[in-house]
Structure 1
């Protein structure tokens, strides 16, 4: 028989939500599953729309399956440019949501605890910019960091509600599912492995009558979300339905449902990048694998979006099936960017460089040299490897790119003069590609700041930023810019710039931690030692597990911040960790290490 979950009215919470929408930018409604958050949001949004008829109301709903895909929940609302900078991707996504000529936007984000990192980041940025009124629902204890920051940073009002009588239990849901007819149950089974599904696709799998029966029995809901398509989509009607249906399916049953879904969806390949990644992820755990070239392409796109875990899964699957160079490079990139240099080196070592074309040799050699220098802490070996590779290539553009990486190596090794010379030659070369320009200009910008040539920093920084290149070079550029501003006494400007690296433009690690190091560096210069230490503690814990030069720097700055506060024991411990990790690859920061030692001695009243 049909089931209707007892949804309380929450009159008090409704009043606070209405007030937050009228007087402010909106609210975050928090509570356990099944307590009526979604109903409350739907009623409040409907009433607001009736009172303000020019308002565009758009819905985004997080689900466990879409959480595994970048921008999964927003695929119907935002366009994603195929570019390689997470911050630029977020700006493009915000711009595609703007539509300021179409009236004010009320964005309802339901089950925000099930958003992927980029979707959660976009929600935060929209709230920070005041670009939309918002109603966000979710569970406080399991929300992504960016969602928790909505109320922690005071951007949206927090409204807590409780479920009377403890809410619905898994046992009650299991009993309900067991009584569903086979057709209605099959609808839930497909949604358990991919939610939502379009009404058209789900009808092709189960039949329209089964969906209608499931809806009549309170198991699913058909919604029109707005945005790029008004085609209806189907969701489960309760958060526990998909979870319990997935548990009942078991591994083999879920795999069979994915296989059937992949075969259907592959007949009309999706155009949106998030949907293509969703299909690629589904196919991984099915009996209908995609062609390896498509899997590699999906892996590369996931990496450009900053989803290293998904990029790794896809690349590993492609490599196991093909052993090809493209899959090998994608997997090595994913591993290296996560700081897993030894694993990346094993992957890169599994081929014969003598059998590679010159273009393939370059792709392989650049990644292997960078991995050797930073992740394996073998800078001498990496530099020698670059020289050997340069002797093997004949193309002038390829040699320029190798020189650009060698300039970056020289800078990190503290050989600033040589780095400036080589970087200048690269930037003057007519055949320098984006990768070469990004490496050379970022190194030149930071070197200029360290040498006191402050007027040179910004033009070099802008040239580096104009070159599309994935990875972490934007932080090298940022350090050059903030250093120049600090040395010029422009503390407020330095803080404003550094803050941009921590305002959830960088949610994936290690980018988040490096952004916090940049901000802490400015806070130290401004005498805010406690705030700097609070940022540097967790950042250093993240970065010292990787091979990045930011690891020793974060520990060095932490030691200084602690010593400035008179915490001698903690400063000594941080300094010891910094010294043990300092070496050629972080020699550029030897002056900071000397300053940390001096402050520790000063805190001990020791000359």
Structure 2
């Protein structure tokens, strides 16, 4: 593909090699030992290239199996001759290697030294022993080597360095260097797991996946969904690593390729005991203890990929049938074995078992592997699995955002319902789909109200009450949501699915009501039920998202990040789990001021949501966090584009997040320099929140207005501080009161309080406001200290830009309105465009520009822009 593969991720190895190679008086050179493909040769060649740039003569020797039968066979290319007199050849070899080396000396690289013939090994040993050259030797671990080679490090002549496989971060760094752009973390993890850090395998994998188009850039982020088709080059490498396989050993490898991991006893029954032992001895199979049992698996994932790709269909179907039958006969029956048996049976010669397939499809939903759940579920329906099987299909199709298909699937589900309880379950799924996935909350409410009127049994109605709790919270009715959730959760035998729904409603409501003291307990019950649920397990991430939101609004920012990270860990490997949870983590990081970290996570999440529609509202959630992060970073153009995309993604069933939407617009206005509009939007957000009883959102909105320079809300924040739990409300009230009083010392104290809370960006704003207050009083020393504090905090937020920080950093003698007008003029807006944006007359704009020009000594717009941006 012509791509350059640098030594990214090998900084520490290069440092150690340099130390061993160039230090004076000690061993001159290094033995690089490691498994095949980890990058030993590439490292050695880089060291020789560096030596050449230093003026040294360099020699490169590659040992091979074919040359091993000749004395000095590995050096034949350098010497030009071989023979039978070892002593003469040895002398000739030394002379040839040292000829014309000059004063800088010579460095010799010997690749695959374990394959050297005895004379070549002796030559290398003599060169090192007499310190005639600087020697770089590579060799494969666990391979027999000539005694002369082993003595190089055993006798202390050379330093031995174990070259380890690339770690996940090192794999990511290498991929991003090669692809010249960010790679989403899930793709990095998948590639690292498949290649096990083998740089050579990784290179061939990337080349093949680029050629196939599976590894592609979406929105500037590289993504790889997995499902590799092994290229011919990679196949040859892996087959060479595996070596020739006898029929018996091949059978062992193939059975594991289709069914790993398997109990060692079961594998022996399916294949041959002696062949299993041989495969283990050859490093093809690993056997590890799993409690009292022994589990066998292939030692490298690519072994399975290569064998599956090369296996005939009939052989594969027969073997899968044998494995599935053997698993059933062992009497294991745990959920994961059930899922494995079902997957194996789908592509086997066995008759479909509707009970097995239905149970397995439910397990796949529970694991959020929605593609697999749909596949198994459809097979279960075809085999006669009935309502429960169709339920898994509905859950999968809905979770994957396939709206055109869901109507027909819902109709099929309703048709299969045989009693009132099943009709209620069908209704619950329909309500969730209409509200969250289709974005039609009015229809969802109508369906729910109709069902509530028709269902008479309390045992059935409670499920409708649970889904109502979630719907009420999403529609911005937190008090009603809490009431419905409490009613449902009071039912002693409430199924897990209803517990999850009611808990989502209660957690979301508590989050916005400011009742954070009750939040954790409600979330814990929901998480426990979601882990057991076979239908609504996909709500684990939304539940964690609401939990994180409540902690963020309250000001428990470290705890919010912990919840988000735990959610991401639990979602790793699940369908869309990483993407959705990345949005949650990104929002939590943004709240702590980690702007660049947040942007990377949010961009990854956004790209990963290309497939599942609006991702149940997560696209909306992700976009307003992304827009805020871009605005805070100073990327005005990027923030505008993201805001336009956010408008398009508006979710009518998530009115609970309307204050967040308004605050996002406020941050974009602030980034554009229109602070008065930003303050107005923050007030509008506070009014919307207050009208709905979302007091925690009201606190955040008013606190945002304070950070924009509005001290008029101090009284309302002081009142809210007595009613809303968590550290944010009192901290915001303190900053507002200090700003209203123009008290620099109190603003500095508020900054410290906010920093301790973890809100570094608000702390930076308070410090900047303190600097301005002290400057107005001509208190230069404390003003300078406050400015330095604001700068330090802003740098900790990746150089974030806010109105307060801008005003403190560029204290121009302008009023707020004059600065707004000049800033918009600096952004190339005409006087008419500025007037329309600020809702004033063109004459008023001209007057502000005239006065600003008089104060700053210029009427030139370019010079005014330079003063605004750099003054």
Quick one: which of 566, 577, 600 aligns to 1:500?
A: 566
- Partner residue of 1:21? none
Pair 1:42–1:493, CA change in 2 (3 A): farther
1:457-476 to structure 2, matched below 5 A, reads 457-465=519-527, 467-468=529-530, 469=533, 470-476=536-542
Instruction: Say whether 1:374 aligns with 2:433.
Output: no
Match of 2:462 in 1: 400
What SS class does the counterpart of residue 500 from structure 2 fall into?
Answer: helix
Q: Give the corresponding residue for 1:515.
A: 581
- Alpha-carbon spacing, 1:367–1:449, altered in 2? closer, same or farther (3 Å): same
Q: Which runs of 5+ in 2 are unaligned?
A: 1-11, 17-33, 41-111, 113-139, 145-190, 207-233, 678-871
Which residue of 1 is the match for residue 258 of structure 2?
193
Q: Does structure 1 residue 490 correspond to structure 2 residue 556?
A: yes
Is residue 556 of structure 1 aligned with residue 615 of structure 2?
no
Give the Cα separation in 1 of the matches to 2:671 and 2:483. Answer: 40
Q: CA deviation at 1:564?
A: 1.7
Q: Within 2, Cα distance between the matches of 1:311 and 1:546?
A: 20
Task: Report if the CA contact (8 A) 1:332-1:345 is conserved.
Answer: no
Number of residue pairs the alignment of both structures matches: 466
1:592 match: 660
Cα distance change, pair 391–246 in 1 and its aligned pair in 2 (3 A):
same
Instruction: Map residues 307-318 of structure 1 onto 2, 5 A cutoff.
Output: 307-318=369-380
SS at match of 2:537: coil
For the structure 1 residues 518 and 256, does the alpha-carbon distance in structure 2 shift closer, same or farther, using more than 3 Å as the test?
closer
Name the CA shift for 1:585/1:229 in 2 (closer, same or farther; >3 Å): same
Comparing 555-564 with 342-351, greater Cα deviation is found at 342-351
Counterpart residue number, 1:540: 606
CA distance in 2 between counterparts of 1:402 and 1:378 reads 18
Q: d(CA) in 2 for partners of 1:564 and 1:34? A: 41
Alpha-carbon distance, 1:419 to partner: 2.5
| From 186, 189, 193, the counterpart of 1:113 | 193
Aligned pair 1:346/2:408, yes or no?
Answer: yes
Question: 2 CA distance for matches of 1:313 and 1:333?
Answer: 12
Contact 2:499 2:526 in 1 (8 A): yes
CA deviation map 1:370-396 (0-9, x unaligned): 112111222111211112222332211
Q: Determine which of 383, 395, 413 is the counterpart of 1:321.
A: 383
TM-score, normalised relative to structure 1: 0.66
Q: How far did residue 366 of structure 1 move? A: 1.2
Matched, 1:225 2:288: yes
Instruction: Give 3-state SS (helix, strand or coil) of 2:567's partner.
Output: coil
Paired with 1:237 and 1:471, the residues of 2 have a C-alpha distance of: 32
What residue number does 2:342 align with? 280
Residue number among 361, 382, 405 corresponding to 1:299 in the alignment: 361
The Cα of 1:459 is off from its aligned counterpart by: 4.2
State whether structure 2 residue 604 is matched by structure 1 residue 604.
no
Distance 1:595 1:269, change over 3 A: same
Task: Provide the residue aligned with 2:37 in structure 1.
Answer: 32
Q: 1:481 to 1:184 in 2, by over 3 A?
A: closer
- Give 1:583's match in structure 2, choosing from 645, 648, 651: 651
* In 2, Cα distance between equivalents of 1:256 and 1:193: 11
Greater Cα shift, 574-583 or 428-437: 428-437
Matches of 1:477 and 1:351, distance apart in 2: 26
Change (3 A) 1:260 1:304: same
Could you give the per-residue CA deviations for residues 259-304 of structure 1, whole angstroms, max 9, x where no partner exists? Answer: 3333444333434433332222111101113421111111212222
Alignment of 1:29-108 (within 5 A): 32=37
**C-alpha contact 1:532 1:561 (8 A) present in aligned 2:** yes
CA distance in 1, matches of 2:407, 2:298: 44
Q: Quick one: distance in 2 between partners of 1:525 and 1:185? A: 55
In the TM superposition, what is the alpha-carbon distance from 1:510 to its structure 2 partner?
Answer: 3.2
Q: What is the alpha-carbon distance in structure 2 between the residues aligned to residue 587 and residue 330 of structure 1? A: 29
Deviates more, 1:582-591 or 1:221-230: 221-230
After TM superposition, the structure 1 stretch with the greater mean CA deviation from structure 2, 525-534 or 458-467, is: 458-467
Check conservation: 2:38, 2:197, Cα contact below 8 A: no
Instruction: Write the distance in 2 (CA, Å) between the matches of 1:429 and 1:211.
Output: 54
| Corresponding residue of 1:565 | 633
How far apart are the structure 2 equivalents of 1:503 and 1:192? 27
Q: How does 1:160-239 map to 2 (within 5 A)?
A: 169=237, 176-177=244-245, 180=246, 182-183=247-248, 185-195=250-260, 197-198=262-263, 200-206=265-271, 224-229=287-292, 233=296
List alignment gaps of at least 5 residues for structure 1: 1-11, 17-28, 44-110, 116-135, 144-165
Residue by residue over 1:38-87, the C-alpha shift from the partner in whole angstroms, topping out at 9 and shown as x without a partner, is x95999xxxxxxxxxxxxxxxxxxxxxxxxxxxxxxxxxxxxxxxxxxxx
Q: Which whole-Å CA distance do the structure 2 matches of 1:567 and 1:34 have between them?
A: 40
Residues 231 and 387 of structure 1: CA distance in aligned 2, closer, same or farther (over 3 Å): same
Tell me the SS of whatever aligns to 2:630: helix
Which of 334, 341, 351 lines up with 1:289 in the alignment?
351
- Aligned mates of 1:459, 1:236 — CA distance in 2: 43
Q: In structure 1, what is the Cα distance between the partners aligned to 2:242 and 2:544? A: 53
CA contact (8 A) 2:263 2:293 kept: no
Q: Does residue 452 in structure 1 map to residue 514 in structure 2?
A: yes
Q: CA deviation at 1:367?
A: 1.4
Cα gap change, 1:168 to 1:269, in 2 (>3 Å)? same
Q: Measure the CA separation in 2 of the matches of 1:221 and 1:171.
A: 11
Distance 1:188 1:497, change over 3 A: closer
Distance 2:525 2:334 in 1: 31
| 1:330 equivalent among 392, 413, 416 | 392
Report the 3-state secondary structure (helix = DSSP H, G, I; strand = E; otherwise coil) of the residue aligned with 1:501.
helix
Instruction: Please give the alpha-carbon distance, in whole angstroms, between the structure 1 residues aligned to 2:507 and 2:629.
Output: 26
Q: Cα 1:167–1:206, aligned 2, differ >3 Å: closer, same or farther? A: closer
Following the alignment from structure 1 to structure 2, what is the Cα–Cα distance between the partners of residues 222 and 527?
A: 48
| Equivalent pair of 2:338/2:359 in contact (CA under 8 Å) | no
Aligned equivalent of 2:642, options 574, 594, 597: 574
How far is 1:306 from its partner? 3.2
Q: Is the deviation greater in 593-602 or in 429-438? A: 429-438
Distance in 2, matches of 1:358 and 1:596, equals 45
SS of 1:377's partner is: coil
RMSD: 4.0
Does the aligned pair in 2 maintain the 1:397–1:431 contact within 8 Å?
A: no
Question: Per chain length, whose mean CA-contact separation is higher, i.e. which structure has more relative contact order (CA < 8 Å, sep 6+)?
Answer: 1
Contact 2:264–2:287 (8 Å) recurs in 1: no
